[in-house]
Amino acid sequence: MMSHERNPLFRKGERNAFCLFYSSCLDEAVGKSWAYWDCSECEYKLNRDQQQDITSYCHDTTAYYDALADILD
């Protein structure tokens, strides 16, 4: 029987930024002064929180390049 608990591990690996529990794992990692963590042994490693989907984005990056050029001039 699975425990149904998140399981961040202190080691380099892959993380799922779209997981419902990502922020809780991040808080735990920061609290324990971890520079990184791994989700590979967590039962939620493939979960995807639909509320975290990015719904708006810029279609034209020209404005960003123009702004950068103005700053660097």
Residue 21 belongs to a domain: yes
Are the C-beta atoms of residues 18 and 49 closer than 8 Å to each other?
A: yes
- Between 65 and 32, the more confident residue is 32
Structure confidence at residue 2 (pLDDT) = 44
Checking if the pLDDT of 73 tops 80, the result is: no
Query: How many domains does the chain fold into?
Result: 1
Single-letter code of the amino acid located at 9: L
Range of the domain at 15: 1-53
pTM score above 0.85:
no
Q: What tens digit of pLDDT does each residue of 4-58 get?
A: 688 899 999 989 888 888 889 999 999 999 998 999 898 888 888 666 555 555 5
Residue 2 belongs to a domain: yes
Q: How far apart are CA 50 and CA 57, in angstroms?
A: 17
